[in-house]
Amino acid sequence: MKDREIALFEAGIKLGALYHQFVGTPVSLESAEILEKAIERSISLQPFVESISVRLNREKIRERENLFGYAELTGDMIEVEVKVKVGEALVIASLRWDEEKKYPMMKVEELR
């Protein structure tokens, strides 16, 4: 298998693991930044991750806060970009909500 194929596969694994691991996590406006950093650090421990950026949509968190002051993390709140490098191959992949499909879509943004 070529480095490029491994990098593409690994990028998909990172995003899928992130999504299924963290959806449902309690989050508030006060904890959103901490959760972003925790997700980044967790995923960055995995092999081949060069960098990762996680942003949570504060407006959606605010809109969905329950009586106890928090919301549950959902796919439409998460925006991620991950860079995976295997050998000379670099993949930049993203996870973003697609409003038309009403689904969190994963996408290869760039392959070098």
Q: Does 107 have pLDDT greater than 90?
A: yes
Sign of CA dihedral 30, 33, 36, 37: negative
> What is the domain count for the chain?
1
CATH (domain of 82):
3.30.1300.20
In angstroms, rounded to a whole number, what is the distance separating the alpha carbons of residues 43 and 37?
10
Alpha helices in 1-112 (DSSP H): 3-22, 32-44, 58-64
pLDDT tens by residue, 41-94: 999 999 999 999 999 999 999 999 999 999 999 999 999 999 999 999 999 999
pLDDT tens by residue, 9-29: 999 999 999 999 999 999 999
The confidence band for 105, taking pLDDT boundaries of 50, 70 and 90, is very high
The predicted structure's pLDDT at residue 1: 78
Domain span at 42: 3-111
Q: Which residues contact 101 (CB under 8 A, 6 or more apart)?
A: none
The predicted structure's pLDDT at residue 91: 98
Q: From the CB of residue 66, how many other CB atoms can be counted at a distance below 10 Å?
A: 10
